[in-house]
Structure 1
């Protein structure tokens, strides 16, 4: 009888231990899950996609160097991806197809405002990381085309980029201040490579190309054709800037593409945009890696990537991670 009582007590004690252990385990499990979830929300991503532009433009080669620097500095595998550039890049960011992208400042402003190619579809999940360099509007033709002014484009076959692209909007606005519209030219929607090939083959007369100079596609054209860049006169530059303040006067220097004289034109700015859901600390590290290692980049446009101009032309909200870095460095918008 005594043995039975001892056995019963032992069984009861064992059951109580198991119950207590189960309760304790359950509590720890819940706490662990919450902790992991909390950490996961702020964890740096393992991979990042950076949308650039066509392989013959400036975005793609510069983006490749930048992606490598980000990968080495942050440990996050960052891939530079060829794309159709500004407008498409913003749309891809909006849809969550990438985290970073090269964009023209004017296109990004249009996207946030929901105008031009973003009419009725404003973008509210993309923020600025920083400005990079001037993107020159180059009206490219050949010396023997007979085209020496914007007005001479009337009636000619002219590449203006894809509808809604940054280049297309630039072309539309420049034509506008010269009293022309897309209906006054034979507009062709070609890539940079297709544009320069078309000029070389005589299929088109001129092309609008918005990119950092020197642009690979135009340099390639210069190997077979005497390149000419159509100037924009000062009064039209002033009119354009008054109407669209994100433009700035620019000069393509003699020697570029074999030019014999400086050519006056205008430029917008290239910038990096980032989706708002990339963690603050990750964007901080990306921003730091770009502006502190720009000197290691071989591309000619890297010399323009400085903290002094990092907030120039930014007309949208800056990502908190980038803003944190700029605040530490004492960088403010002009």
Structure 2
């Protein structure tokens, strides 16, 4: 009887030791997993998708008096709230410079014109021999109007009047520079031979117009553009029109353009002014994790009604992929497919 009790106690002790060992192993495994999740590159969510450990995102915009910068702060706040990733809007030299910022890893998200995105992806014009193969779209935003801005005092009323004049065309290699070059070409003018080209940003351009140091300026941005509005406070703004036949010739040669109109009342204009535009978009690289790209896309397009800038009215899910011209990030595509 005594031996039976001893045997029973021995069996119970062994079983208890095994249970404690199993619990200890489970705790160790759980602890190791938690450590891996904290220190590793990514963790797994309940649905099996990757959750990135990215803590900061840089959004490259444009100059402080352009539409990119005006929208950038709002976008950064929306992305921060939606994804939990601290996002900051950065001043930049806009489209072409933003491509280079992506390449260098100085930005994760950028504003860019669709035409410049196409050149960068395919290694054309200012990106000849230097294609950015991993450039992908988040989505399109709004039309960016190519505005040839001058004042009533300049006497300039047509593109032909620009001959021999001091004209701001933006920085070499910028989107504005390319637009200026192509529009001048359609009007039979050369940026090198027929005008005195000045490489100024938007703020410098309107300051120059105000002081009379330049005669006209190309500004590619969504209207109303802050720099041009500021000019309108001290001078009578004139936007030089693009005739219908010239617009059609431009679109035939460069199909990423579209006809546009700057409505009466903008900058104090007395009547509508025919113009042309490209499209503003948000881009990133294919290296950005899918869940982060999804969150960025959702933050912007699902909250467009929170965007107070006038261009917020153009930011719509149903038109976000129109006229993009480059591949869309899988994370962004997933969001649009769900709508």
TM-score per shorter chain, which class?
0.7 to 0.9
The partner residue of 1:294 within 297, 300, 304 is 304
Secondary structure, counterpart of 1:128 in structure 2: strand
Q: Secondary structure at the match of 2:303?
A: helix
- What is the TM-score of this pair, normalised by structure 2? 0.86
Alignment of 1:10-89 (within 5 A): 32=33, 37=40, 39=42, 42-89=51-98
Matching residue within 135, 138, 141 for 1:132: 141
Aligned residue in 2 for 1:212: 222
Structure-2 separation of matches of 1:44 and 1:218: 41
1:230: how far off? 0.2
Q: Kindly indicate whether the alpha-carbon contact (under 8 Å) linking 2:42 and 2:53 is maintained by their aligned counterparts in 1.
A: no
Displacement of 1:144 after TM fit?
A: 2.0
User: Aligned ranges for residues 1-334 of structure 1 at < 5 Å?
Assistant: 32=33, 37=40, 39=42, 42-182=51-191, 183-329=193-339
Contact 1:44 1:279 in 2 (8 A): no
Instruction: Give the gaps of 5 or more residues in structure 2.
Output: 1-24, 44-49
- Structure 1 stretch displaced more, 204-213 or 277-286: 277-286
Measured on the aligned residues, the alpha-carbon RMSD in Å equals 2.1
Q: Judge which range, 36-45 or 244-253, deviates more.
A: 36-45
Q: Secondary structure at the residue paired with 1:184?
A: coil
Q: Distance in 1 between matches of 2:172 and 2:136?
A: 24
Offset of residue 264 of structure 1: 0.2
User: Post-superposition shift, 1:140?
Assistant: 0.2
Match of 1:9 in 2: none
Shift of 1:110: 0.3
Aligned counterpart, 1:16 = none
Report Cα offsets for 1:27-55 as digits up to 9, x if no partner.
969x8587764635752411110000000
Contact 2:122 2:133 in 1 (8 A): no
Normalised by the length of structure 1, the TM-score is 0.88
Q: Is the 8 A contact 1:44 1:282 kept in 2?
A: no
Which SS does the other structure have where 1:169 is aligned?
A: helix
Counterpart contact for 1:196–1:217, Cα < 8 Å:
yes
- Cα distance in 2 for residues equivalent to 1:91 and 1:128: 15
Give the superposition deviation at 1:297. 1.1
Secondary structure, counterpart of 1:155 in structure 2 = coil
Give the CA deviation at 1:151: 1.1
Provide the rounded CA distance (Å) in 2 between the counterparts of 1:37 and 1:273: 27
Alpha-carbon contact 2:170-2:200 (below 8 Å) kept: yes
CA distance in 1 between counterparts of 2:311 and 2:52 reads 32
1:137·1:170 contact (CA, 8 Å) conserved in 2? yes
In 1, Cα distance between the equivalents of 2:295 and 2:42? 18
Q: Deviations over 1:83-127 (max 9, x none)?
A: 000000011101211100000000000001111111110001221
For residues 110 and 53 of structure 2, what CA distance do their matches in structure 1 show? 18
What does the per-residue CA deviation read over 1:54-102, in whole Å, with 9 as the maximum and x for residues that have no partner?
Answer: 0000000111011101111211111000100000001110121110000
